[in-house]
Structure 1
Amino acid sequence: MQNYLELFEALMAAGVPTEPRPRNKRHGDDLYYCEKNGKVGVLFNPEECKRSVNKCWDAACQWPLRSCERTHRRALRLLVDELLPLLARPQLTTDLLWDSLDCGGVLSVLALRGVAELVTRHGVEYPSIYDRLYGLLEPAALAKASSRLLHTTGTFLSSTHIPGSLVAAFAKRLSRLALLAAPADCLAMLGLVVTLVAAHPELRRMLREREGANIIPKDPYIMEETCATASQAIKSSLWEISALRRHFAPEVSAAASRILAEERASATPATPTPDQTDFDRDLKMWFKNIEMNFVRPSAFENASPLERVAGLWEMDV
């Protein structure tokens, strides 16, 4: 299995195009492979390449790929990074990817990327996928594949139709993990939290609450909860960002201070300028009574309301 997957990786490293390449001028309208000393080689056919890739992957799936962690990891990386756009029926990889989510570590992160591809491009529905993603946000997974996991998390949370309580749970968990992460990962988490708060304005109060307090009461957030919506993150605040202002890394401290300063500035109502105040006062003074016409009507000025109505219906017989 290792030899087969290694050969498969070497072939995929050269790139299997899904569209015809530019025509080769030396041999007319067709493109040939394996040319040597001016001799024509194999005619290029993108559809035939895709069929060959599908046959190779079907043969690899006949073996117990999950029996060895090394083989499992290599097969998942090959599937997610190279093969999914070329497979004729990518939905058949659902069981492999779903079972790989329970393995933990790098295997779960790789499987999550494949799940994101099936959900966004092929309409596959996974039950409780957000709870699975929420459970993967742990220090062990971030230490091994932080960039992959954060990128996939941002992809899943990019929709603005997700409930605010669910997004608040992810923002709270990322902020809590930022207290333990390396400076580079901490900056990436802060950027993702800011993106989530900007996309969901109802979460801005989590940045304002308890800001500058000397004594922080008990946090209602439940870190050990595996269900995102049951973690009660919506009742908590992002006090972790305030704590990161005292981080030992200057770039992290500056980023946290900038986030809180921008939020404080946006929460403060803008004071009107003197020019704007004078304009509003003049507007009220000159336009108390809005004129509806240029000439004041005088025909029914001294008539009663009944005579005015009767005069409107006079007709010549």
Structure 2
Amino acid sequence: MQFVDVEAQSLLNSSNHFFPNILFRRIIYTLLTLKHYNQGLISEFVTTYLLEFDDIRYYTYKNLTTFIKKRSQSVRQKSKICESELSTRIFDLISSVCFPRVPSELNAYYAPIETEYTAKTVITKTRKLLEQEADIVSLSAHRKVFSHFWLSFLRQLLPLRVYKRVLLMLEKSIIPFLNKPRLLIDFLTESYDKGGVYSLLSLSGLYVLITKYDLDYNDFYKKLYSLLDHQLFFMKHRHRFLALMDQCLSSPLLSASLVAAFIKRLCRLALRAPLSGVAVILPLIYNLLRRHPNTLPMIHRYKSAGEDCYDYQEVDPERSLAIESSLWELDALMNHYVPSLSKFAASFKEPFGVADYKIGEFLNHDYTKIIEEELKKKVKSVPLEFSTPSGLLTPAMPMWTLD
């Protein structure tokens, strides 16, 4: 990088572009194609240069895009690195980069840059080179190379670890800075249709495209409904999924039959879910019932013994007949062995409040927290016996007698 600095200084007043990208491109390619991958070297480059200088970040994205598009079979054979390994190295290089949000954040440059152009400068430098210099200080140009890189990178073969981390980053670190976020539709819908952890992690990005960028995905709620099963409560990102599902079902435009299917499904899952799962399901059911008053008759509907018209195996929530069923599962949860959960289940028989529960406050409930809360309670009296004794020995007690 010192050679890059020296060359940039020498080119500042010449007719060439001020940033020596030819030399810098060789550095990027060398970092990615080393036979013995050096994670420490990558970390040093990212910390010292990539996170500090805007022009380094700009040309890194630009060179990586070129590297991905023009990578040929001969290059892979020469480096003896498989495609998934190269994808991992590229992701390690850019995963911690923070993209600027406003133009004022573009204020650090590794190579010197001219902010004012004299008549002599305009004569000695070509129009193309002047445009390249202007790109360095333009946020729209930075967004352009950022968008080109990610759209090219997501077409590659991604290892499972990288795939998961990309899905986690999409909502906050990638989508807000793309020029055309709708171009991620294919990637997100394909991930959502894979099922399992891929669906859970892609839900947030897909929801952003639906709500903010007018994505029309007809099977969104049908797929969301299919993700509600008992395996959900043993996945790593279950809390993130349940909190996001609360947002997805918050629209008052959803049909009552659709929301009723989710409510009924959650009630069934609560009967077999672990304690941490029940602690989230109950406030989620409460929010759904309060937002959609047309589903409230399910609480008070007559519960016939041994009969339930709800079809748990139906994949289409609209056809599950949940709206015609009853929430008899809440009666069972009133007898839950954890007092706080049984009390919560009993609150469904009372008038609903005016505010929703914040699902985030219930995500960390587990056995340890429940025990701590119970131990903190002040108990006035502790029942020790059915009837209070009048003395140490009473006439009713059988005694030994000596003949």
**Length-normalised TM-score, structure 1:** 0.70
Q: 2:291 aligns with which of 190, 199, 202?
A: 199
1:16 to 92, 99, 103: 99
Q: Where do 1:229-268 residues align within 5 Å?
A: 229-262=318-351
Matched residue, 2:30: none
The residue aligned with 1:121 is 212
Cα distance, 1:64–1:260 mapped onto 2, change above 3 Å? same
- Aligned partner (choices 18, 31, 34) of residue 107 of structure 2: 31
Please give the residue correspondences for 1:162-201 in structure 2 after superposition, counting only pairs within 5 Å: 162-201=254-293
- Alignment counterpart, residue 161 of structure 1, candidates 253, 263, 266: 253
Q: Which AA in structure 2 matches 1:52?
A: V
Counterpart in the other structure of 1:274? none
Secondary structure in structure 2 of the residue aligned to 1:262 = coil
Matched residue SS, 2:193: coil
Distance 2:321 2:155 in 1: 45
SS of aligned partner of 2:224: helix
CA distance in 1, matches of 2:229, 2:110: 48
SS at match of 1:243: helix
Unpaired stretches in structure 2, ≥5 consecutive residues: 1-86, 112-135, 353-403
Q: Tell me which residue corresponds to 1:97.
A: 188
Residue 251 of structure 2 aligns to a residue whose secondary structure is: coil
Q: Deviations over 1:63-105 (max 9, x none)?
A: 123xx33332222223234101111111111111111122222
Letter paired with 1:242? D
Deviation at 1:232, TM superposition (A): 0.8
**Is the CA contact 1:18–1:47 (under 8 Å) kept in the aligned structure 2?**
no
1:233-291 CA deviation, whole Å, 9 max, x = no partner? 0111111111111112222111111222336xxxxxxxxxxxxxxxxxxxxxxxxxxxx
CA distance in 2, matches of 1:188, 1:49: 41
CA contact (8 A) 2:233 2:274 kept: no
The answer (yes or no) to whether the contact 2:266–2:281 under 8 Å persists in 1 is yes
Letter aligned with residue 101 of structure 1: Y
* Secondary structure in structure 2 of the residue aligned to 1:5: helix
Shift of 1:226: 0.7
CA gap of 1:57–1:242, structure 2 versus 1, over 3 A, is same
Note the 1:59-98 alignment, pairs <5 A.
59-65=152-158, 68-98=159-189
| Higher RCO structure (Cα 8 Å, ≥6 apart) | 2
Query: Displacement, 1:48?
Result: 4.1
CA displacement at 1:44 relative to structure 2: 6.5
The one-letter code matched in structure 1 to 2:153 is A
- Structure 1 unmatched ranges of 5 or more: 23-29, 36-42, 264-317
Distance 2:280 2:201 in 1: 19
1:220 to 303, 306, 309: 309
Aligned partners of 1:62 and 1:128: how far apart in 2? 24
- TM-score of the aligned structures, taking structure 2 as reference length: 0.56
Distance 2:277 2:141 in 1: 43
Of the three residues 90, 95, 98, the one matched with 1:4 is 90
Distance between the aligned counterparts of 2:163 and 2:108, measured in 1? 35
Amino acid at match of 2:94: F
Maintained 8 Å contact 2:289/2:295:
yes
Residues in 2 aligned to 1:123 and 1:176: alpha-carbon distance in whole angstroms = 33
Residues 105 and 140 of structure 1 are in contact (CA less than 8 Å); yes or no, is this contact kept in structure 2?
no
Paired position in structure 2 for 1:292: none
CA contact (8 A) 1:142 1:149 kept: no
Distance 1:180-1:21 versus aligned 2 partners, 3 A rule:
farther
Aligned mates of 2:288, 2:260 — CA distance in 1: 8
- In structure 2, give the amino acid aligned to 1:240: E
Structure number with greater Rg is: 1
Quote the Cα distance in structure 2 between the aligned partners of 1:249 and 1:146: 21
Q: Distance in 2 between matches of 1:119 and 1:4?
A: 29
